[in-house]
Copies of this chain bind each other. A is one copy, B any other.
Amino acid sequence: MKIVIDAMGADQAPGVEVEGAIQAIKEFGYDLILVGDQERVEAELKKHKFRSDKLSVVHASEVIEMHEPAAISVRRKRDSSIVVGMDLLKKGKADAFISAGNTGAVVCAATLSLRLLPGIERPGIAICIPVLTGTSLIMDVGANIDPKPMHMLQNGIMADAYCKYILKKDNPTIGLLNVGEEESKGTDFIKESHTLLSESKLNFIGNIEGRDIYSGKADVVLCDGFVGNVILKVSESVVDTIVQLLKREIKVNIIATIGAALASSAFNELKKKLDYSEYGGAPLLGVDGRCIISHGSSTAKAIKNAVKFAGESIKQDVNKHIIEELESY
């Protein structure tokens, strides 16, 4: 099992990627390839005095920065870590690719290089979130910010397969995120998506609202990539804000300070549940290959967990199940 890591992707690249890769080799024993500026990557490796025949470095002279337009930069920067890494996957020299870099560029490179699964017109990113009843899947969280209704149906089918075979949920419920529960609500795009999903074989439970996401009303929350991206970032930020506001309130009250110290174990457990880095990455579904998208602000721990997640993805082979589902339509 061989996993390629884009070493230049995260905000703290290549430090976090190198450290995460070292931790992952020690913990899981996978073979890893770091793709990026060889000199910088090796300087990081030196810091950790790490050598292993399980780790190799492939040089890529260019980096696609976060601010660069996706399609143009993928076409122009043929020697970027994203394009070179994706190429290794394409050529069968690796079984999965992980990047914390420019999401649009990863999606674009994956689509161009790996190609799409038969029946899929656009890929989508599915992410697991902790909800009151366990775990739900939001799709899409940023691959396709301006989808057509047909893409929502395709995302529904892919998310359904993911839920069944990876999250082991029987007959997962699929909800369409809208501004109200009623069929009459929403934009034309949402109404058309609703019609397509209603007519499908999916266990479609209709429209759900923003408040229903974390209560776990649906196993799969379908939304366009723009809305999904906003939901994720807002959710993270609400958690941070609550913690900060609570700290302020607690500071002015000595009894509350003692109380908070005593309750800290509960806080830490909760923090762990909500901590993005525990998951590490989200699969890009719909491309013919295993591609994991990590957070730009990934820590070494997040990269390590992305490797763990990539390893599981290789074993589970979700694409086989997605293709079977698509063929049954």
Residues of A bordering B, CB below 8 Å: 66-69, 104, 130-132, 142, 145-146, 177, 179-182, 184-188, 190, 209-215, 223, 225-227, 229-242, 244-246, 249-250, 253, 255-256, 258-267, 269-270, 273-274
Contacts and interface: CB of A to CB of B under 8 A. Distances in A.
A180 B146 contact: no
Centre residue among A185, A188, A244, A273 by max chain B CB count within 10 A: A185
Contacts of A270: 242, 245-246, 249
A234 B237 contact: no
Given A184-B69, A250-B266, A237 B258 contact: no
Given A233-B209, A234-B211, A66 B226 contact: no
Centre residue among A130, A186, A210, A239 by max chain B CB count within 10 A: A210
Given A132-B241, A214-B240, A238-B214, A255 B246 contact: no
- As for how many copies of this chain the complex holds, the number is 2
Contacts of A184: 67-69
B66 A179 contact: no
A213 B237 contact: yes
A265 B180 CA distance: 35
A265 B260 contact: no
B259 A241 contact: no
Contact of A231 (B130, B230, B253, B260): B230
Contact of A259 (B67, B236, B246, B259): B259
B269 A179 contact: no
Contacts of A68: 184
Centre residue among A211, A244, A250 by max chain B CB count within 10 A: A211
Contacts of A235: 234, 238
Contacts of A132: 241, 244-245
Contact of A237 (B181, B215, B229): B215
A67 B260 CA distance: 44
Contacts of A209: 230, 233
Nearest to A258: B262
Given A187-B145, A266-B253, A239 B238 contact: yes
Contacts of A145: 179, 186-187
Nearest to A212: B237
A20 B235 CA distance: 32
A187 to B, nearest CB: 5
Given A214-B237, A256-B266, 6 more contacts: A186-B226, A190-B226, A213-B234, A213-B237, A214-B241, A250-B266
Contact of A179 (B225, B236, B242, B273): B225
B242 A146 contact: no
Nearest to A269: B249
Nearest to A245: B270
Contact of A226 (B179, B181, B234, B240): B179
28 contacts: A69-B184, A130-B245, A132-B244, A179-B226, A210-B229, A210-B236, A211-B236, A213-B234, A214-B237, A215-B241, A223-B230, A226-B227, A230-B230, A230-B231, A239-B242, A242-B242, A242-B274, A245-B270, A249-B266, A249-B267, A250-B266, A253-B265, A253-B266, A256-B263, A256-B265, A258-B259, A259-B261, A259-B262
